[in-house]
Amino acid sequence: MAAGKPAGKILILATESCAYPGADAVGQGHMSYPANTYVLRVKAPVLFPEKFYLDCFDKGIAGIIIMSCGVECPYEGAYEALAKRIDRVYELMKERGWDIRRLRLTAICTVCTRAFINEVKQMHDLVAELGPPGQEQQLAAAGSA
Amino acid sequence: MSTPESPKETTGTGKVGVYVCYCGGNISDQVEVEKVCESLRQLPEVGVARSNMFMCSDPGQELIIEDIKSGKVDRVVIASCSPRLHETTFRSAISRAGGNPYLYEHANVREQVSWVHHGSEATAKANRLVAAAVAKAALSEPLQPIRVDVQQRAAVLGGGVAGMKAALELADRGLEVILIERSPFLGGQVARLRHLAPFGEDAAAVIAELAGRVQEHPAITVQTCAQVEGFDGYIGQFRLQVRRRPPEAEEYADQLAAGSAAGAQLGDVVPFVGIMPQRLPENLEEQEITVGAIILATGMRPYQPLRGEYGYGDLPQVLTLPEFTRLWHAARSQRQGDLLVVQGRRIRHLAIIHCVGSRHIPGVHDEGGRGYLNEYCSRTCCTASLYTANLIRQTYPNTRVYEFYRDMRAFGRGQEELYAQASDSQVMFFRFRAGEEPQISPTSEHPTAPVLIRVKDVLTFNEELEVMADLVVLAVGQEANPVPGLVELMKLPVGADRFLLEVHPKLRPVEVAVAGIYLAGTCQAPFDVGETCSAAAAAAVKAAAVLTRGYVELDPFVAEVDLSRCQGTGACVEACLADGALTMVDMTVDGQNVRRAQVNPALCLGCGACVAVCPHNAINVKGWTLKQYEAMVDAIVAEDLAA
Ligand SMILES: Cc1cc2nc3c(=O)[nH]c(=O)nc-3n(C[C@H](O)[C@H](O)[C@H](O)COP(=O)(O)OP(=O)(O)OC[C@H]3O[C@@H](n4cnc5c(N)ncnc54)[C@H](O)[C@@H]3O)c2cc1C
Ligand code: SF4
């Protein structure tokens, strides 16, 4: 990782039946990725209300990747409910002037090691570009001034 | 081995015990374990923070047990390998110490830290993840596992060697077994072999013995032409919809005709087909069965070369090993002297090509029409080739045998001897590099003319050699036999090689992530028959351990309503994904008659769809509450955590 200012923190909500074992598989393959990433094991990310995401950004988390099971979700209907919720979170983020790319909904399987690394790298580059949450408003304000 | 013990002093006032594992260097090579302990001791929730060379070892577990017994610790955080490996180990250690096994959190600092990050970054990240686990543990409530009665019956899917062996192991332990086989026959792929390398057992005799015992065993019910088409439930109480249907017009037509031609009765071995233990169903038969455990023994399929691969399909002189085995059987019965004669053709020179359909290398080999590569070694084909070569040399000394191999993998008892024997009996070896496979071309239009094999031979320092052969045998490997229906229904993990995936290749080799479902035989990976039987016996013993206990304890991670917060909005009931798991019921709370949400723990999936929609956060999944996640995020963003 580039030296200097530490990169913003990235929260990864990883499902216990797909993405969490996927993250383990990345480790078993000794494939390196940026260390500003914190994986939280979840049964299903449908558990989190809109406010949880907004609070995370308020607390200073720079990016959130939801690594779900996608259509492979063991809880039928959960993925669809999650996708709808994330759309609402995007609306709320826009209202706050936040870049919605800070929140990403993906599907990562137990062996999707390359996809895992790609997602992490992309979010890492994005938060490096955007800075801490809220910075984009300042940038926009500076731009329009 | 010396165990690095941390000093015991602590500035914490809480009773969270933190235990950080060195994992014999796997973690400590990157993460400064003592520094993590030191930093964690600063947290007010933490009572003790210790390290050990191997936390999963007896001395490691003893540390936790002693701390709980002495009252220093009432909840535990382990920082080690993935919780998927040792969560149950540590829960049971806590129980043995008299603690509640759910007052426990896990920080994954091996797969998700030391194996992917280096140096100070790894230590800093480990620190935060352990601090987050402490924050969660501090908010944990003691929970009781949900106890479910077990149906003392197992379903075994697949009637090859693995399925039959697993069924017998279970039945011999007094357990009822339903053996479900898709085809009309028992025996699987072994029924298509003649002799079993390396020792040469008669394949038909092996399956006849197993199938005979299976049919006679009073505890085993066999259902052929049957498949599982519906599935729900959980360990101890799986419900399966089983359908038996008559084969479609062309399905199994050749095999059934072979049986009739041989005048085989039910239970007889039909060479290269298997054993038909019961009549074909006349109509569709549907049945629901309830079982406590499921063993998957759906096997593999031999690799089928693409048209044109080594001339296969274009040149009649090119056959696969299973095809040759059948012809060999016919040739033996019409033996004509010291020269092998196949379909009337005299075979003076026979070539065997190894690694057909196995050990593909991305960028070197082409997916062809398959859409995938088989990157693994099939493990049985070198030995089967050597066995075949020896057999030919012994039986028909005037037939020369050439083996074209990439690497020789004759591991295991009795296999090296086959290799030595092949050299002694003048089998000639040529070695090729990946991407420089032998090229086969016809020498004339005539289908009986020999073919020309060109190879760049590593053994003669890359000399380009040409060999004529009357017959080319392709040593095809083992491919996954896809079972998409079962994968979909049971949410089974599938590896990159398309075989079913175990939880851990070393520590939990016959279990899948779904509790109560076990893997037996080649549905998991290429195995020979001996290895298949070992795996099947292991799966059966695992299943028997669950079934004979009579009950299982399930994690209590289901929704729970906090009646002090619930206002009866009913939003959770609407959001719930499992029918009947959440309902609104009339009840009395604080002397008031109210309508509130109620959870049926047996039906709740624990997904948390209800949690997100409650405006009062009055419903949570036990062990995974929203407050706990918020506390973890707080620990991750905390400014003051020494790195
Ligand atoms: C070319 C070749 C040569 C070999 N030579 C040797 C040798 O010399 N020595 C040796 O030890 N091993 C040899 N082997 C390996 C041997 O064939 C396997 O070890 C053995 O067949 C594995 O048995 P199994 O029961 O796991 O699978 P299989 O034999 O594949 O049996 C699986 C069974 O499951 C059934 N099934 C599949 N799907 C379903 C479903 N959805 N529901 C119900 N039933 C289902 C199938 O119909 C089949 O009956 C060889 C393999 C190959 C390919
Ligand atoms: S066992 Fe031998 S022939 Fe088969 S894939 Fe492995 S190396 Fe190749």
DSSP per residue, B484-500: HHHHHHHT--B-TTSSB
B626 neighbourhood in chain A, CB within 8 Å? 47-49, 52
Q: Residues B313, B444: one domain?
A: yes
DSSP conformation class of A35: S
Q: What's the distance, Cα to Cα, between the start and end of chain B in Å?
A: 29
Ligand 2 pocket, residues with Cβ under 6 angstroms:
B 354-355, 358-359, 377-379, 381-382, 406-407, 409, 475, 477
In the numeric block, which tokens belong to residue B636? 């991750």
The pLDDT-based confidence of A72 (bands split at 50, 70, 90) is low
Distance B254 CA to ligand 2 centre (A): 30
CATH number at residue B278: 3.50.50.60
B125 neighbourhood in chain A, CB within 8 Å? 35, 38
Residue A4 has pLDDT above 50, yes or no: no
Contacts of B157 (CB under 8 A, 6+ apart): B163, B180, B228, B294, B295, B296, B297, B298, B486
Residue where a domain terminates, one of B498, B519, B552? B552
Tell the residue nearest (CA) to atom 14 of ligand 1: B528
pLDDT tens for residues B364-395?
Answer: 999 988 899 999 999 999 999 999 999 999 99
> Which residues constitute the domain of residue A56?
9-144
CATH number at residue B33: 3.40.50
The pLDDT-based confidence of B554 (bands split at 50, 70, 90) is confident
Q: Is B252 in the pocket of ligand 1 (CB under 6 A)?
A: no
pLDDT tens for residues B252-266?
Answer: 999 999 999 999 999
Instruction: Examine residue B599 and state whether it is found in any structural domain, yes or no.
Output: yes
Instruction: Examine residue B630 and state whether it is found in any structural domain, yes or no.
Output: no
Instruction: Examine residue B223 and state whether it is found in any structural domain, yes or no.
Output: yes
Residue B84 and residue A24: Cβ atoms within 8 Å? Answer: yes
Q: How far is B529 from chain A (nearest CA, A)?
A: 28
Please name which of B100, B141, B125 lies closest in space to residue B36, comparing C-alpha atoms: B125
Q: B33-40 and B119-138 helices cross at what angle (nearest 10)?
A: 40
Region of A114 on the Ramachandran plot (φ > 0 left; ψ -120 to 50 alpha; else beta): alpha
Q: Residues B51, B82: one domain?
A: yes
The pLDDT-based confidence of A139 (bands split at 50, 70, 90) is confident
Q: Residues B368, B430: one domain?
A: yes
Instruction: Examine residue B641 and state whether it is found in any structural domain, yes or no.
Output: no
In the numeric block, which tokens belong to residue B279? 């009549």
Residue B227 has pLDDT above 70, yes or no: yes
Residue B7 has pLDDT above 50, yes or no: no
Residue B621 and residue A43: Cβ atoms within 8 Å? Answer: yes
pLDDT tens for residues B126-135?
Answer: 999 999 999 9
Distance B481 CA to ligand 1 centre (A): 9
Q: What are phi and psi of A36, to 5 degrees?
A: -85, 30
Spatial separation of the C-alpha atoms in residues B41 and B18, rounded to whole Å: 9
Contacts of B592 (CB under 8 A, 6+ apart): none
The pLDDT-based confidence of B514 (bands split at 50, 70, 90) is confident
Residue B634 touches partner A, C-beta closer than 8 Å: yes
Residue B46: burial class (beta carbons within 10 Å; 0-12, 13-18, 19+): buried
Contacts of B234 (CB under 8 A, 6+ apart): B148, B515, B516, B554
Find, in chain B, the residue whose alpha carbon is nearest to that of A1: B121
Q: Residues B328, B179: one domain?
A: no
Mean pLDDT taken over chain B: 93
Q: Residues B329, B402: one domain?
A: yes
Residue A4 is inside which H or E element, if any?
Answer: none
Residue B633 and residue A32: Cβ atoms within 8 Å? Answer: no
3-state helix, strand, coil in chain B (%, to 5): 30, 25, 40
Residues B337 and B282 sit within 8 Å (Cβ to Cβ): no
Q: What is the mean pLDDT of residues B516-534?
A: 97
When CB atoms are compared, the residue of B116, B575, B626 closest to A81 is B575
pLDDT tens for residues B135-189?
Answer: 999 999 999 998 889 999 999 999 999 999 999 999 999 999 999 999 999 999 9
Residue where a domain terminates, one of B524, B552, B580? B552
Label the pairing between strands B153-157 and B176-180.
parallel
Residue where a domain terminates, one of B552, B583, B604? B552
Q: What is the mean pLDDT of residues B408-418?
A: 95
Q: Residues B576, B470: one domain?
A: no
Q: Residues B183, B274: one domain?
A: yes
The pLDDT-based confidence of B10 (bands split at 50, 70, 90) is very low
Instruction: Examine residue B642 and state whether it is found in any structural domain, yes or no.
Output: no
The pLDDT-based confidence of A143 (bands split at 50, 70, 90) is low
CATH number at residue B615: 3.30.70.20
Q: What percent of chain B has pLDDT over 70?
A: 97
Q: Residues B330, B460: one domain?
A: yes
Q: What is the mean pLDDT of residues B208-224?
A: 98
Q: Dmax over Cα atoms in chain B, in whole Å? A: 100
Q: What is the mean pLDDT of residues A8-22?
A: 93
CATH number at residue A73: 3.40.50
Instruction: Examine residue A48 and state whether it is found in any structural domain, yes or no.
Output: yes
Find, in chain B, the residue whose alpha carbon is nearest to that of A24: B111
What was the pLDDT predicted at B641?
Answer: 60
Q: Residues B577, B520: one domain?
A: no
Residue B262 is inside which H or E element, if any?
Answer: none
Q: Is B529 in the pocket of ligand 1 (CB under 6 A)?
A: yes
Q: Is B480 in the pocket of ligand 1 (CB under 6 A)?
A: no
Residue B5 has pLDDT above 70, yes or no: no
Instruction: Examine residue A2 and state whether it is found in any structural domain, yes or no.
Output: no
Residue A17 and residue B125: Cβ atoms within 8 Å? Answer: no
When CB atoms are compared, the residue of B125, B493, B612 closest to A85 is B612
Q: Residues B167, B215: one domain?
A: yes
> Which residues constitute the domain of residue B39?
16-144
Instruction: Examine residue A139 and state whether it is found in any structural domain, yes or no.
Output: yes
Residue A9 touches partner B, C-beta closer than 8 Å: yes
pLDDT tens for residues B327-357?
Answer: 988 887 777 689 999 888 999 999 999 999 9
Residues B401 and B393 sit within 8 Å (Cβ to Cβ): yes
The mean-pLDDT minimum among A85-94, B283-292, B323-332 falls in B323-332
Q: Residues B543, B576: one domain?
A: no
The pLDDT-based confidence of A6 (bands split at 50, 70, 90) is low
The mean-pLDDT minimum among A134-143, B94-103, B540-549 falls in A134-143
The pLDDT-based confidence of B91 (bands split at 50, 70, 90) is very high
Residue A44 and residue B633: Cβ atoms within 8 Å? Answer: no
Q: What is the mean pLDDT of residues B40-48?
A: 95
What was the pLDDT predicted at B14?
Answer: 84
Residues B513 and B533 sit within 8 Å (Cβ to Cβ): no
Please name which of B252, B181, B263 lies closest in space to residue B220, comparing C-alpha atoms: B181
Mean pLDDT taken over chain A: 90
Global model pTM greater than 0.80 = no
Ligand nearest to the CA of B528: 1
Count structural domains, chain B.
4
Residues B134 and B78 sit within 8 Å (Cβ to Cβ): no
Instruction: Examine residue A133 and state whether it is found in any structural domain, yes or no.
Output: yes
Residue B629 has pLDDT above 80, yes or no: yes
Give the CB-side neighbour count of residue B429, counting CA atoms within 13 A.
19
Residues B288 and B149 sit within 8 Å (Cβ to Cβ): no
Atom of ligand 1 nearest to the CA of B157: 43
What was the pLDDT predicted at B3?
Answer: 42
Spatial separation of the C-alpha atoms in residues B130 and A27, rounded to whole Å: 18
Q: Residues B295, B315: one domain?
A: no
Label the pairing between strands B345-347 and B340-342.
antiparallel
Alpha helices for B217-338 (secondary structure H)? 253-261, 321-333
Residues B353 and B475 sit within 8 Å (Cβ to Cβ): yes
Spatial separation of the C-alpha atoms in residues B554 and B545, rounded to whole Å: 15
Atom of ligand 2 nearest to the CA of B407: 7
What was the pLDDT predicted at B11?
Answer: 39
Question: In which residue are the tokens 């493990």 written?
Answer: B379
Signed CA dihedral, B356, B362, B363, B368: sign only = positive
Distance B418 CA to ligand 2 centre (A): 15
Distance B526 CA to ligand 1 centre (A): 9
Count structural domains, chain A.
1
